[in-house]
Amino acid sequence: MNIVGTVIPYAGIVDTQAKQELKSKGWLFCDGSAVSRTEYNDLFNVIKIMYGGGDGVNTFNLPNYQGQFLRGVSNNSGVDPDANTRTPQQNGKDEPGTSKGNTVGTFQQDQIIRHNHPIKLWSRSFKGDDDSDRPFDNLGSDRGYSEINENGGAETRSKNVSVNYLISFKA
């Protein structure tokens, strides 16, 4: 038995054939598509236009979870310090969603927590026996800021495995 609006990870490929098979079992791919408010009325009653209003009359948007980590709503836990600044999901299709703040369906951009690294900055140095730079004296700063290494990646992320997300549209 499914509960309408349940989201699950799906380890299979979601192509046209798979979408039809999944639809016959009551599941849709979370890709931000606009779908019928009439055909998927039970789901529309659960998520409304939280993820986008579709054409504003006949359709609404599914969540678009492609390439994103899901995060539980903070509610009053205090775990998400920026919960109240969350914005509607911009799913790239039709109108953006209506959810904002500390609620289901909201979005946060990626960021790296503000931090710095202590480093020793020397005013002068000399070449050592092994041809490496050696400090000449103890004059220098004991604080500084390091930049992202040019060998770093394009994002900050946890180890992860890609899945497709599905949403249930019928009980």
Q: What is the chain's pLDDT, residue by residue, as a tens digit (171 residues)?
A: 679 999 999 999 999 999 999 999 999 999 999 999 999 999 999 999 999 999 999 999 999 999 888 988 889 898 888 888 888 877 666 567 888 888 888 888 877 777 666 655 555 555 555 666 655 445 444 444 455 555 666 777 777 788 999 999 998
Is residue 86 exposed (0-12), middle (13-18) or buried (19+ Cβ within 10 Å)? buried
Short-list 159, 152, 51, 48, CA closest to 97: 51
Q: What does the pLDDT read at residue 77?
A: 92
Q: What does the pLDDT read at residue 22?
A: 97
pTM for the whole thing? 0.74
